[in-house]
Chains A and B, each alone.
Chain A
Amino acid sequence: MTRCAVRNTIRRLRFDQKELTQQALADRVGVTRQTINAIEQGKYSPSLEVAFRIAAVFGRPLEEVFQFAPDAPDR
């Protein structure tokens, strides 16, 4: 299975936002729910634009939402 070197905290941030659903986040970012799920699962690295949009939805800086971890083991 493909795993990307970009980790993220979207799941926790969604929880902190009163369990914001993947669909609601997807609608606000402008992607499909499946793409949000793939990003959360580490199966897809979003473009810089989508990464900024996701961070903006949570009102957090980009590096708090996404972290680069090239040597991290597969989850």
Chain B
Amino acid sequence: MPSFRELSAWISALIILGFYGSFLAGIAQHTDPDATLGALAGIVVAIIVVEIVLMVALAIFTRRGDQIADERDRLIAAKAYRNAYFIVASGIFFAIVYSLVPDLARLVEALNLPPATILAHMLVISLVSAELVNYASRILYYRSGV
């Protein structure tokens, strides 16, 4: 049976994919900054609640919720965070370039969103992508070795 931490990585990845995926799928509808902020806040709260419920259920089911991370868990987490860092750094880099080069706004004119909202979406996408890479990396390292 996979370890508690591998299973929790699967759960976190699926939660992020489900909640943020549905948000990003309707990205073109999020034209109003207040509504976008409200939708994001709702997703964050929903993710926290669902994650707590599923992690408690997982801990009860596996009876390993109190298991302390050992050296392999810590190494896998460190490598996964390293991979995720590159995604966050890339997202921030592209956001900076987008902010400083006004001509780039023309490339996303079709979305019909205010520039500040597009910038916010770029940062959200980079954060979500980084989280997905983080958990996907953990699953990969747990399954194929580190």
Contact = CB atoms under 8 A, between A and B. Distances in A.
Interface size class of B (residues with CB under 8 A): 10 to 19
Interface residues of A, number: 18
A1 B143 CA distance: 9
A47 B73 CA distance: 13
Interface in B122-145: 142, 144-145
A34 interface: yes
A44 interface: yes
Contact of B145 (A3, A30, A32, A50): A3
Nearest to A33: B3
Contact of A2 (B72, B73, B144): B144
Interface of A: 1-4, 30-35, 38, 41-44, 46-47, 50
Interface of B: 2-3, 6, 67, 70-73, 142, 144-146
